Chain A
């Protein structure tokens, strides 16, 4: 059995990125160290050597001129659907990590709703191996909570932790059985890994296609009420209190959910939470199309707006930004969910749920910053050190000795979202054709530049 204390900080999944370089003159924002200053960063043999004006270049190392740009730790995504094994037509570890790099993410956590599900050491090893050989960024693995993600019996949680999983989740499905969820939480204490819940009371979302509200009523689409998320989060907070385990709430969508998390936190329950870029920025009005919303650029019933949990209303999205500011929500996670063309080119009710998110996440989050909903430093923290701390990953900071993973961005560069240019196989985004302000210029993993738009 592994010891929870030494499990908290895992080494990077790879030894492949061992470059050296110096980044000069950028505005370095590293919330983990409280740095926000124009300075230099030296990376030697894959690791941060020094941060400070005049930090030395190792002889012969590449020098990157970051003047006028923002330099941050590489982004960390706790919620990425890489689809491999099983759904390679939607995404592979190679394409998904290339998309991550294009979006400034240097660490992603792969969700286990693959085929087979990630519920054995063999599948965990396969993902680690494939990522080491074909991945552009660091890949951590999330194991299933239940065998086959069927919600009936626990997976071998200790074995999975020993194989290197950083958390447990049946994401895509909710662990609805209260006794099983209690047991999962209790048992997870042996490994210290968080249990990540996709909070959806399925009895309340039978046939649901979108947020239950005036838009669903008008469109005649079965609704997904906020309460379906809230009742599971309320229950799970009590179960986390009962067991003393670490509960992580995936993709919070409802403002009301935050009250339950806040209340549990105030009682000392170990609950963390994430929010997606789309729940921060988009609402159900988008499903109703142009006619319904002057700002919508899509026709009614466009399946690219279908996502689970669904896009909600403006008060919810505003509450998400407020939650990030006051800390009730720990971090931003993409819930990157790539799909093939046929998964979305069909009736709304037949369409798959999900948004291909890695490459637009920064632009979406910066839209909140530009609108005054978050400060730039808060946004960077929510993409770097805050997610890293939730799963206890050795990432998200430029402290000397940490992996040399860096994202260089221009918060004002405008670009038009063209899914045909995505590195991801998933072209499914409601932001197609949208103008975003803020773009990744360079992504660096272990001192190696793996995405470069500086030309």
Chain B
């Protein structure tokens, strides 16, 4: 993979995505060994720079880095210079001076990792920025689907929930469509970003990807589920009611929640995914979340392998079982 940073999947080619997925499979083999630690990042310093609390993602990156024998430093928003009003630019200068080799960044402002990546010689991996992107989450979703269904091309992926505020939905849409799947985005009109489908469809054409209608949008959950091979539910937060975007969680759950009756409208054996954390009984019912079609737990497990693959490739490693 010839790039300095992984900031989103919008600029990934299909070949690059396949390279990550292949390498992830190799990393899964490493994780199945009795001793999980392999040496490729020995002597490298990886800084986990989290401006937003997210134990799950931070721990996943930390485990991935340690499995590759890197030294890991954690900077979190609370109790550090970040909280004392040090600016992102100041922090970037510090990271540069300390000689970090790779920076994993989570930030509440869309685009913040782009600012850091521009100023830093080290590689930057976006671990989630605002509403914008969460590329490693999307990569683990791709890997999970590929390993369960055998292929991604030609599949139909329904993403249902708060698309407007979701970096997961944005990156997943780029990832699935770049590999030739169709994505249907479904939400109440107040939670759909105007123009996003156009943006992706235009962007895919610019990349030379010519799937018919790669991204479509609907407010009708039954339509979204029809013939879906993958159903991804997104978290809906209580604040959306306070800001007037939703009348109530009860109404949301009744109209858009993924229940057993609804999932029956998808293709037989369709996979159920959720990036977590879940609001059980709101966007997804417990019997679906923990039912036979759910791959939610596998998503978490695959997260470590995907992040190992991304770090390994960014550090100059090559695809395949070379580890």
Contacts and interface: CB of A to CB of B under 8 A. Distances in A.
Contacts of A347: 88, 107, 109, 111-112, 115
A391 to B, nearest CB: 37
A213 B118 CA distance: 25
Nearest to B198: A214
Interface in B279-310: none
Interface stretch (A175-183, A218-226, A231-239, A262-270): A218-226
B194 A212 contact: yes
A36 to B, nearest CB: 44
B11 A349 contact: no
A105 interface: no
B167 A220 contact: yes
A219 B87 CA distance: 22
A152 interface: no
Interface residues of A, number: 24
Interface stretch (B23-31, B126-134, B222-230): B126-134
B114 interface: yes
Interface residues of B, number: 29
B199 A217 contact: yes
Interface in A182-225: 212-223
B170 interface: yes
A218 B10 contact: yes
Contacts of B131: 220-222
Contact of B199 (A214, A222, A299): A214
Contacts of A348: 109-112, 115
A346 B111 contact: no
B88 A346 contact: yes
Interface string B100-129: 000000010111101100100000000001
Contacts of B88: 346-347
A320 to B, nearest CB: 21
A81 B133 CA distance: 36
B87 A346 contact: yes
Given A219-B132, A223-B194, A346-B89, A300 B114 contact: yes
A299 B114 contact: yes
Given A212-B194, A291-B11, A221 B111 contact: yes
Interface in B2-49: 10-11
A291 B115 contact: no
B323 interface: no
B180 to A, nearest CB: 20
B195 interface: yes
A223 B110 CA distance: 12
A442 to B, nearest CB: 39
B193 interface: yes
A345 interface: yes
A216 B198 CA distance: 12
Contacts of A301: 110-111, 114-115
B111 A216 contact: no
Contacts of A222: 131
B146 interface: no
B162 to A, nearest CB: 13
Interface in A298-337: 299-301
Given A214-B202, A299-B114, A349 B196 contact: no
Interface of A: 212-223, 291-292, 299-301, 342, 345-350
13 contacts: A212-B194, A212-B195, A213-B194, A214-B199, A217-B194, A219-B132, A220-B133, A301-B110, A346-B88, A347-B112, A348-B111, A348-B115, A349-B111
Interface of B: 10-11, 87-89, 107, 109-112, 114-115, 118, 129-133, 167, 170, 193-196, 198-200, 202-203
Q: Which 10 A-B pairs have the closest CB atoms?
A: A220-B132, A214-B195, A301-B111, A220-B131, A217-B196, A217-B193, A214-B199, A220-B110, A218-B199, A347-B109
Given A220-B170, A220-B193, 20 more contacts: A214-B196, A214-B202, A215-B195, A215-B199, A216-B195, A218-B10, A218-B200, A219-B132, A220-B132, A220-B167, A291-B10, A292-B203, A299-B118, A300-B114, A301-B114, A346-B115, A347-B109, A348-B109, A348-B111, A349-B130
